[in-house]
Amino acid sequence: MLHVRTFSFDGQLLTGFASFSHDFPAPPVILNPRPVDDEERAGEVVVSTTDLLIQWWDVRETFDGRPVRITGYEVIVTNDPHTQYPRPDPN
Closest CA to 74 of 8, 28, 23: 28
55-88 pLDDT, tens per residue?
A: 999 999 998 899 999 998 888 777 665 655 555 5
23-50 pLDDT, tens per residue?
A: 889 989 989 888 777 777 777 777 777 8
Sketch the domain layout of the chain as residue ranges: 22-38+45-80
More confident site: 20 or 15: 15
Q: What is the DSSP letter of 57?
A: P
Global pTM reads 0.53
Dmax (CA) of the chain: 64
